[in-house]
Chains A and B, each alone.
Chain A
Amino acid sequence: MALQEAEDRIRQLDIELSRATDTATQRELQQEKSQLLAQAYGSISSFDRVYLARKTTRPGVRDYIGRIFTDFFEMHGDRLMQDDPAVIGGIAALDGMPVTVIGHCKGKTLDENIKCNFGMPNPEGYRKALRLMKQAEKFRRPIITFIDTPGAYPGLESEMHGQGEAIARNLMEMGSLTVPIITIVIGEGGSGGALALSVADRIWMLENAVYSILSPEGFASILWKDSSRAREAAELMKLTAYDLYARGIVDRLFGEPAGGVDSNSRSIYERMKNALLNELSILGRQNGRALVEQRYKKYRRIGDCTSK
């Protein structure tokens, strides 16, 4: 049984449990529930992780910003066209240290999601992010980006305003920034739309986050002309945090409680904050040129799988 179905059944069991009056039925239901829980979270498939990564109950970029940093001052607009609510960014303090924080913004409700376009940026979002990153470089602040997007928005205006150019420029510029950059994939890392905020010195990932070239649905529809084969596609795509860690693309994993980070999110903020403080003190000892050189080599290394 897939995780999503198991969770639906567990919710149903909870309702039945609350209604059950005799202890025998209660015990029976309880037993079924714990069996289901063990089964569901004991063997999680890649597609289960896609499901977990997309859950709207999962902490979003605003939760991380609120719980890890203080003094967050949000900044809006790309100074060219408009503000893109799908990308949030600003300055904040990490245990007193000024940092620039940027991330994809997904909503928790339909209303919120309509406002932030389900976390799918337009070119203006990427240009806002680049403006803030250049500003970070000017003031010698480290940059922390939170990745959570299905991808860059495929629309009329986004094409008209140069979606491809905006992503390309971010890739080129991020590679040359002389301040430390740490990227954390907290949910969905979708394609170029995710990459455009994640050319970094360190790439971290939550256990149930995913990062891929395309959604499993899109992948299945391109490869087999059948988007319903998404589950099968997810297994092939090697998109889980474990796959990417094994491939050397991701540098660090953050474990999640059974059922996903949203079932008990308290500890993740503390762990992440400590990790950021540690890593930034290491990266902060290097000069800008060395950082750029190492970042260049990192991408040369993780992107190479050709004969010599």
Chain B
Amino acid sequence: MIPLFKERRRKLTLFKAMRPKPEKLPNRIPEGLYTRCPDCKQDFVTDQIAAGFYVCPGCGYHMKLTAQGRLKLVIDKGSLRELNAGLVTLECLDFPGYSEKLSNLQSSTGLKDAVVTGFCTIEGHSAVIAVMDSRFMMGSMGSVVGEKISRAFEYATKKRLPVIIFSASGGARMQEGIISLIQMAKTSNALARHHQAGLLYISCLTNPTTGGVTASFASLGDIIIAEPRALIGFAGPRVIEQTIHQTLPQGFQRSEFLLEHGFIDQIVERPRLRSTLATLLRLHSVTAQKKGGG
């Protein structure tokens, strides 16, 4: 019991440290200045929420992070060397409205597609990182996401580096049809080669990770960690409800549910995300293996 209390107190202290001072809210909230927690519905000053990496100061809910925000949280400052940054889709563009949708999102998010991949360091440890961004068409996987993830694994295999992927995805990119489906096989095959080369892959599941991403690389990590209360599953909750004609139980398909059913290794809150990844990278580094006589 005592270690449990200690752990809980440590977490509370961490959250407290990140919590902004309570402030009296004005009657009329200017747009953008305040952010409402989607879970507890309380309003907080946006700047302070941002400074706390979008963890709700009230209830600890982990709000969505942009790819840029995620990288800032996790990797060493200035260490990112982006890979295949300019990759865009060439075909599949005959789908009505798809092309415009892409270019609108490209200018509003500053991203070319729903994933950023690159080389980085985390507390000095080298890794290949991929971060998905759910603002970009729900983080759906089309040819660009699939290609960048596959190339990231291929690059890491060649350079003998670990891979860390932050998933945030609604699943397949409908507009790209069957090509989107093929990405699941393609990424899983690239991952297999990295795996067979004896290299480390850490899969980090964030809210939401569903569909084709869950049914491919996101579920195949040597180590799988998840953020608290993230929706993780293959089928979406609405599809399941329509199929079984039942309301889903509370907490169904959330991180805690997956932990209980044996599909993730640990739930890691944002305050200790970076240090957790650094520790895992250190424990899998060449020098650590040599000490073990391997």
Contact = CB atoms under 8 A, between A and B. Distances in A.
A192 interface: yes
Contacts of A176: 189, 192, 196
Interface in B168-193: 172, 174, 176-186, 188-189, 191-193
B240 A156 contact: yes
A57 B252 CA distance: 38
B contact patch SS = helix
A175 B174 contact: no
* SS class, residues of chain A in contact with chain B: helix
B88 to A, nearest CB: 5
Interface in B213-250: 214-220, 233-236, 239-240, 243-244, 246, 248
Interface residues of B, number: 59
B234 A192 contact: yes
B6 interface: no
Interface residues of A, number: 52
Contact of B185 (A164, A199, A212, A222): A199
B111 to A, nearest CB: 15
Contact of B216 (A168, A173, A211, A296): A168
A43 interface: no
Contact of B219 (A162, A219, A244, A300): A162
B91 interface: yes
A171 interface: yes
A92 interface: no
6 contacts: A152-B234, A165-B219, A168-B219, A171-B188, A212-B177, A307-B89
Interface of B: 86-92, 95-96, 143-144, 146-147, 150, 172, 174, 176-186, 188-189, 191-193, 195-196, 211-212, 214-220, 233-236, 239-240, 243-244, 246, 248, 252-253, 257, 261-263
Given A158-B235, A213-B178, 19 more contacts: A152-B215, A154-B243, A155-B235, A161-B261, A164-B233, A164-B234, A172-B188, A175-B192, A192-B211, A212-B181, A213-B174, A214-B174, A237-B177, A239-B177, A299-B186, A303-B182, A303-B183, A305-B143, A305-B176
